[in-house]
Structure 1
Amino acid sequence: MGARALILGAGPGAVGLAQLLMRAGYAPELCEPDPDAARRLGDLLARAGVDLPLVTGTGDPEAAALAIEAMEEEAGATRQAHLQALLHRCDPAVPVLSTSLSHLPARAIGFRLAAPMQLRPLVEIAAGPIAPADQIGALFALARAMERRPVAAPVGRPSIASRLSARLAGTAEQLLMQGAIPHELDEAMVARGWDLGLFEAQDLIGLAASAAILPQSARPISSRMVAEGRLGKTAGVGWYRYPGGGGAVIDPLIEDLIREEAWFAEVPQRRWSGPEMLAHLLDALRREVSEMLADGTAASLAEVQTVCAAGLGFSGGLEVDPAEG
Structure 2
Amino acid sequence: MVRQEVDGGVAVLTLANPPVNALGAALRAALDGALDQAIADESVRAIVLAAEGKVFVGGADITEFGKPQQPPSLPDILDRLDASPKPVVAAINGVALGGGLELAMACHGRVAAPAVKLGLPEIKLGIIPGAGGTQRLPRLIGPDAAFPMMLTGESVSAEKAAALGIVDAVVLGDLVAEARTRALELADAGRLPRVRDRSEKLTPEARERFESLAAEAVKRDPDATNVHALVRAVRAGLEQDFDAAVAVERAEFRTLVEDPRSKALRYAFFAEREAARVPGLPKDTPRRPVRTAAVIGAGTMGGGIAMCFANAGIPVTVIETEAGALERGLDRVRGLYAGSAKRGSITEAQRDERVGRITGAIGLENAAEADIVIEAAFEDMGVKREIFSKLDAIAKPGAILATNTSYLDVNAIAAVTSRPQDVLGLHFFSPANVMRLVEVVRAEKTAPDVLATALDLGKRLNKLPVTVGVCFGFVGNRMLERRSRAGERLLLEGALPHEVDTAVTGFGFRMGPFAMSDLAGLDIGWRSRKDFGGRAPVADSLAEQGRYGQKTGRGFYLYPDGARTGTRDPDVEALIARVAAEHGIARRSFTPDAIVARLMYPMVNEGARILEEGIAARPGDIDAIWINGYNWPAWRGGPMHWADTVGLRTVAEALSRFAAETGDDSQEPAPLLKRLAAEGGRFADWKASA
Aligned residues: 323
Q: CA deviation at 1:167?
A: 0.9
SS in 2 for 1:319: helix
CA contact (8 A) 1:122 1:307 kept: yes
Cα distance between partner residues in 2 of 1:185 and 1:84: 44
* Cα distance in 1, alignment partners of residues 552 and 291 from structure 2: 34
Percent sequence identity over aligned pairs: 23
Specify the alignment match of 2:368 in structure 1.
Answer: 62
Render the CA deviation track for 1:217-258: whole Å, top value 9, x for unaligned.
442233334444444445555444556666232251443443
Q: Residues 183 and 303 of structure 1: is their aligned pair in 2 closer, same or farther, counting only changes over 3 Å?
A: same
Residue type of the alignment partner of 1:95: I
Shift in alpha-carbon separation, 1:197–1:79, aligned structure 2, 3 A: same
**2:539 pairs with 222, 240, 259, which one?**
222
Q: 1:267 aligns with which of 580, 585, 589?
A: 585
Contact kept? 1:114, 1:311, Cα under 8 Å: yes
Identify if the C-alpha distance between structure 1 residues 55 and 164 changes in structure 2 by more than 3 Å, giving closer, same or farther.
same
Deviates more, 1:220-229 or 1:7-16: 220-229
Matched residues in 2 for 1:261 and 1:124: separation?
36
CA distance in 2, matches of 1:238, 1:15: 27
Q: C-alpha deviations, 1:235-292, integer Å up to 9, x for none? A: 5554445566662322514434434433443433333332221121122123223333
Matched position secondary structure for 1:110 = strand
SS class of match (1:276):
helix
Q: 1:15 to 1:265 in 2, by over 3 A?
A: farther
TM-score, normalised to structure 1's length?
0.82
Moved more, 24-33 or 94-103: 24-33
CA contact (8 A) 2:424 2:446 kept: yes
The residue number in structure 2 matching 1:6 is 294
Q: Which residue of 1 aligns with 2:34?
A: none
Shift of the alpha carbon at 1:125?
0.8
Q: Does 1:319 align with 2:624?
A: no
Gaps of 5+ in 1: none
Taking the TM superposition and a 5 Å limit, the aligned residue runs for 1:19-34 are 19-33=307-321
**Inter-CA distance 281–313: structure 2 relative to 1 (3 Å threshold):** same
Are the counterparts in 1 of residues 480 and 603 from structure 2 also a CA contact under 8 Å?
A: no
| Aligned residues of 1:110 and 1:127 also touching (Cα < 8 A) | yes
How large is the Cα RMSD of the aligned pairs? 3.3
| Separation in 2, partners of 1:206, 1:119 | 19
1:181 maps onto 2:486 in alignment:
no
> 1:151 is paired with a residue of what secondary structure?
strand
Question: Could you tell me whether the CA contact under 8 Å between 1:3 and 1:26 is conserved in 2?
Answer: yes
SS at match of 1:6: strand
Q: Is the 8 A contact 1:119 1:313 kept in 2?
A: no
Structure 2 letter corresponding to 1:8: I
What is the CA-CA distance between 1:99 and the residue it aligns to? 0.6
Q: Secondary structure at the match of 1:177?
A: helix
The 8 Å contact of residues 500 and 595 in structure 2, kept in 1 or not, is answered as: yes
As a proportion of its length, which structure holds more helix? 2
Shift of the 42–295 alpha-carbon distance from structure 1 to 2, 3 Å rule, reads closer
Max Rg structure: 2
Normalised to the residue count of structure 2, the TM-score between the two structures is 0.42
Give the distance between the partners of 2:620 and 2:601, measured in 1 at CA. Answer: 18
Output the CA distance in 2 between the equivalents of 1:163 and 1:188: 22
For the residues of structure 1 that align with 2:387 and 2:553, how far apart are their CA atoms? 31
2:517 corresponds to 1:202: yes
- The residue type paired with residue 183 of structure 1 is H
- Shift in alpha-carbon separation, 1:295–1:199, aligned structure 2, 3 A: same
Q: What pairs up with 1:101-112 in 2 under 5 angstroms?
A: 102=409, 103-105=412-414, 106=420, 107-112=422-427
Which residue of structure 1 aligns with residue 395 of structure 2? 90
- 1:23 Cα offset (Å): 1.9
Using a 3 Å threshold, how does the CA distance of structure 1 residues 288 and 195 change in structure 2: closer, same or farther? Answer: same
State whether residues 468 and 617 of structure 2, in contact with CA within 8 Å, keep that contact through their aligned partners in structure 1: no
Q: State the secondary structure of the residue aligned to 1:249.
A: coil
Q: Distance in 1 between matches of 2:472 and 2:608?
A: 17
Q: Which residue of 1 aligns with 2:612?
A: 294
**Alpha-carbon distance in 2 for matches of 1:235, 1:55:** 33
> Equivalent residue for 1:135?
450
TM-aligned CA distance change 1:25 to 1:209, over 3 Å: farther
Aligned equivalents of 2:489, 2:379: Cα separation in 1? 27
Gaps of 5+ in 2: 1-289, 340-354, 415-419, 649-680
Give the partner amino acid of 1:84.
S
Task: Assess if the C-alpha contact under 8 Å between 1:24 and 1:142 holds in 2.
Answer: no
Describe the superposition over 1:185-220 as per-residue Cα deviations: whole angstroms up to 9, x where unpaired: 222112212243223333444434445379544422
**Local SS of the residue matching 1:180:** coil
Residue deviations 1:53-110 (CA, integer Å, cap 9, x gap): 5545446111333211111x34221122112222321012221110125234113110
Instruction: Flag the structure with more relative contact order, 1 or 2, with Cα contacts below 8 A and sequence separation at least 6.
Output: 1
8 Å CA contact retained: 1:171, 1:284: yes
Displacement after TM superposition at 1:21 (Å): 2.3
| Deviation of the 1:176 alpha carbon | 1.8
CA distance in 2, matches of 1:35, 1:227: 32
Q: Which amino acid aligns with 2:624?
A: T
Give 2:573's match in structure 1, choosing from 213, 235, 255.
Answer: 255
* Contact preservation (8 Å) 1:120, 1:313: no
